[in-house]
Amino acid sequence: MADNIRPFPGAEVPEQTISTERRPFGFCAHEKITLDEHRRTVKCTACDKVFDPFTFLQSEVHRLQDAWERHRQVRASLSELVERVDALKKEEARLKARVKTAKAKVEPSIDVRNRSL
Ligand SMILES: [Zn+2]
């Protein structure tokens, strides 16, 4: 820059002192929650949304109750299926024994040692 060129006085941009808080773009499912012990607040770790503690606890209780109910239903369904598999295994063993008996009746036994064919 040449010595005879100087910036125009008063053209400096003032320092920016105000900013807006930017939320993460898109939908947040609030999957990770932080309990702030100092402020006694419940907030989403990802988007910083603050929840009403009672409402949050209530929704968690409902979510846990639903999960336990689904768990109970799955366990009942599982034990019913295990009983059916056991019955099918018994039936399979019974039918295999019948097939074996029927084959023994139809096919003559081959005595290789005495060569009685
Ligand atoms: Zn969130």
pLDDT in tens, 58-98: 999 999 999 999 999 999 999 999 999 999 999 999 999 99
CA of 21 to the centre of ligand 1 (A): 15
The Cα–Cα gap between 108 and 89 comes to 29
- Sign of the four-CA dihedral 70, 71, 72, 73: positive
> CA–CA separation, 34 vs 72, rounded Å?
30
Please write the tens of the pLDDT for every residue from 19-47: 877 765 778 999 999 999 999 999 999 99
**43 alpha carbon – ligand 1 mean position (Å):** 8
Cα angle 62, 68, 72 (rounded to 5 degrees) comes to 145
**Which residues make Cβ contacts (< 8 Å) with residue 110, sequence separation at least 6?**
117
**27 Cα: distance to centroid of ligand 1 (angstroms):** 8
